[in-house]
Amino acid sequence: MEIKGKTAIITGVTGRLAGAIVLMMAKAGANCVCIYHKNKTEAKKLKTALQKLRTKNLFIQADLTVPGNIEKVFADIERFAKPRILINAAAVFEKKLIEDVSFEYVRKMLDINFAAAMEMTQKFVKLVRKKIKQEQKPAAKIINITDIAAQRPPAGFSIYCASKAALIAATKSLAKELAPDFTVNAVSPGIINWHKDITAKQKKKILAHIPAGRAGKPEEVAQAVRLLIENDYITGQIINVDGGRSI
């Protein structure tokens, strides 16, 4: 699928990773629907950057875990354009030892990292099927941003890793369910943004297990997203962008 002229929905855009994906999409000529939760300062910066690229964009502030909010988001999107691309990037990355985990915390993490992406996907599929009629397949693209931690879980991140593992399983299942009208893939980054509590010693230890010898860049993850959009014969795949850490 050619990106230029298409409308893409991206969630969690005030994060560094999702922000880089938005900029990549806009530079390739896409119109972007940018969904964010609280960070108005970063949203304003991103909006300014997009204005310089002269593409159409729509910014929507919404808590995607609140019942009814996603339906409202899609009402706004439908008035804006006919989307062809959905990138589920909204997530919370958090360490929590099992002794500190509560039922409410588990529900919160699953709501943000998994359930919201599933409802976004549901509404996107419904809208595409209603608005876009074409013989050429696929008609639309869905890309989930996961994490190699779902495949190689570190200690202390059991709930986060479980939420991302759920997203990986759903990606593979949906690729079968929605074919051939949609391709469904995931990009699974390795170390891109260091956790705020990590020490220099811990960084050195982690980097020793990465063949590339360094952390990744948000732009390198965005490049993988672009590949999955432009290639119509890849579906149901998890693309690791991790410098070889998952080998």
Burial of 212 per CB tally in 10 Å (0-12, 13-18, 19+): middle
> How do strand 140-145 and strand 31-36 relate by DSSP bridges?
unpaired
The catalytic residue among 36, 105, 160, 233 is: 160
Residue 32: both structure tokens together:
């972007």
Question: Given its phi and psi angles, is residue 54 left (phi above 0), alpha (psi -120 to 50 degrees) or beta?
Answer: left
The alpha carbon torsion through 211, 166, 73, 86 (nearest 10 deg) reads: 50
The H or E element containing residue 33 is: strand 31-36
Catalytic status, residue 160: yes
Give me the active site residues, please.
Answer: 160
